[in-house]
Amino acid sequence: MAGITQFDIFRDKDFKFMGALTENFVAQTLVARNRKLYYWASGNQAEVDFLLSYEKGIVPCEVKAAENVKSKSLSVYVATYKPEYAIRVSARNFGFENNIKSVPLYAAFCI
């Protein structure tokens, strides 16, 4: 509907819709795994892309299109609700640091 081709996405490193497309990719992956989609917002200050329900509670999941993974919103959520851990899906490889599980975009189906 936006008239965007795959060439537009791959040619432009700073493609302005890359974040939205990446979040949509992860959303489709979660839905394919029968996950219900929820998000969290704190007024106009913070927003976490997905909240995932597990046996042990709610896990926030933030999606980033690149390797820059700084997220004030995820930090606000973690400080407020103190989940057991959080998930960040990005262009980075698997890892675990500061109670955040890093999952590469190609492995979003593992969530």
Q: Does any domain span residue 97?
A: yes
Read off the CATH number of the domain in which 104 is found.
Answer: 3.40.1350
Q: Is 25 contained in some domain?
A: yes
The answer as to whether 33 is a domain residue is yes
1 is a domain residue: no
Parent domain of 66: 6-110
List pLDDT tens digits, range 89-104. 998 999 999 899 999 9
**Residue 79 backbone zone (phi > 0: left; psi -120 to 50: alpha; other: beta):** alpha
pLDDT tens-digit profile of 60-88?
999 998 777 778 889 999 999 999 999 99
What is the tally of structural domains in the chain? 1
Residue 62 lies in a domain: yes
Query: What's the predicted TM-score (pTM) here?
Result: 0.84
> What pLDDT, on the 0 to 100 scale, is given for residue 11?
59
**Can you give the pLDDT at residue 45?**
81
Q: Is residue 103 part of a domain?
A: yes
pLDDT value for 110: 92
User: Percentage of the chain with pLDDT > 90?
Assistant: 56
